[in-house]
Structure 1
């Protein structure tokens, strides 16, 4: 992909993942967005399961925590901000907000509940990561152009090194996927793929931004 004139002012910085410094954050792989019966199902979630399982296995083997982010909303709010733009969805403490069984989330993993698009916005995610002394984040999930992207932005703003494996994320469409990954690669982090991230977790391989290829 060629760079536009503005984005071409890119300072290329590779990342070498360290299991003691890193975490895998999986965004909103919940029944509401993935499974039949969900109110806002993203078609094709199945293609993400294999790559995400590989990332989970690699992260655990490297000693990096797996953090599952659940979009969950309280009923009875006078002005639920997300519902001002989106169909009411993801009522807390229901099947809708549970991580899909395909991914094997564990109770002893870290689970974060959010009520806005970003997993950092008024949650304890930043505090949790700082208490664990983690500053490298691999972020994947759904959807790339909304909740994944918002989380990546806030991770960058808060000083974290960010890696996004493109094949472990899905957007609302091809245009949105390409545009969001382009912006992440040129302004907020490194865009890579699952195979490279797994190698980085297991062998200490260096991750290079795919945008530079």
Structure 2
């Protein structure tokens, strides 16, 4: 009888539970129309994930926890910098600065005090001020939602770990174009980089968080 990947990982103590997060930020990764609109070449079936993210956003706003959005957008000059990425995924070039495809979905419309960080590559940390924002807010972890699970979400979770932050991913608040990479990315995140939880559990993590000193 063959050993499944899950059994093998359990036997080798891969995928253990991390410590709890005391003060999380909600990080909404690339829920722009380029990824939430099925008419886009990059589009996902993201309806449920957007709705679950909106619920978590309501909780974070109610508790005045840090919230931050990322989006991919390119100018002509940026396309030269990101050329290797665009060679792999030419459809990303439609996310032009100022275009509808680079706008955050109106169902999650950022408020004036919620940063929207532009990026050229997959990770929400690479080439942005996300790490500085989290440090300034006194965070020790992140709740990550968005698209795509196997691309920018996974890359952001990996970099969160590498910046010293624990990451939680609500499984129904992330979306991908196909079921197989979505499932594989969630398995990979749970095994090596963060915790995959229900949206309800993510809400409880937000509600149990500590306020920043002075708030």
Q: Which category describes the TM-score, using the shorter chain as reference length?
A: 0.7 to 0.9
1:13 is the counterpart of 2:14: no
Matches within 5 A, 1:35-74: 35=37, 37-42=39-44, 44-74=45-75
Find 2:148's aligned residue among 95, 119, 143: 143
Post-superposition offset of 1:155: 0.6
| Helix, strand or coil at the partner of 1:23 | strand
Equivalents in 2 of 1:201, 1:15: separation in Å? 15
1:109 is the counterpart of 2:114: yes
Matches within 5 A, 1:190-205: 190-203=195-208
1:173 matched residue in structure 2:
178
Please say if residues 52 and 172 of structure 2, whose CA atoms lie closer than 8 Å, have aligned partners that are also in contact. yes
Please say if residues 171 and 196 of structure 2, whose CA atoms lie closer than 8 Å, have aligned partners that are also in contact. yes
- Unpaired runs of 5+ residues, structure 2, are 210-215
Post-superposition offset of 1:85: 0.9
Greater fraction helix: 2
1:177-200 superposed Cα distances (whole Å, 9 cap, x missing partner): 111111111110111011111122
Post-superposition offset of 1:49: 2.0
1:92-147 superposed Cα distances (whole Å, 9 cap, x missing partner): 12222110101232121121111001111121111121122212100010000001
Equivalents in 2 of 1:48, 1:32: separation in Å? 15
Please say if residues 141 and 170 of structure 1, whose CA atoms lie closer than 8 Å, have aligned partners that are also in contact. yes
1:82 is the counterpart of 2:118: no
Post-superposition offset of 1:174: 1.4
Distance 1:26-1:17 versus aligned 2 partners, 3 A rule: same
| Helix, strand or coil at the partner of 1:3 | helix
| Helix, strand or coil at the partner of 2:76 | coil
Distance 1:39-1:171 versus aligned 2 partners, 3 A rule: closer
2:32 matched residue in structure 1:
30
1:124 is the counterpart of 2:129: yes
The list of structure 1 runs, each at least 4 consecutive aligned residues, that deviate by more than 4 angstroms after superposition, is none
User: More deviation in 167-176 or 187-196?
Assistant: 167-176
Post-superposition offset of 1:36: 5.3
Please say if residues 31 and 96 of structure 1, whose CA atoms lie closer than 8 Å, have aligned partners that are also in contact. yes
- Unpaired runs of 5+ residues, structure 1, are 205-213
How many corresponding residue pairs?
201
1:17-57 superposed Cα distances (whole Å, 9 cap, x missing partner): 43xx2100011100112225534222x21121221111101
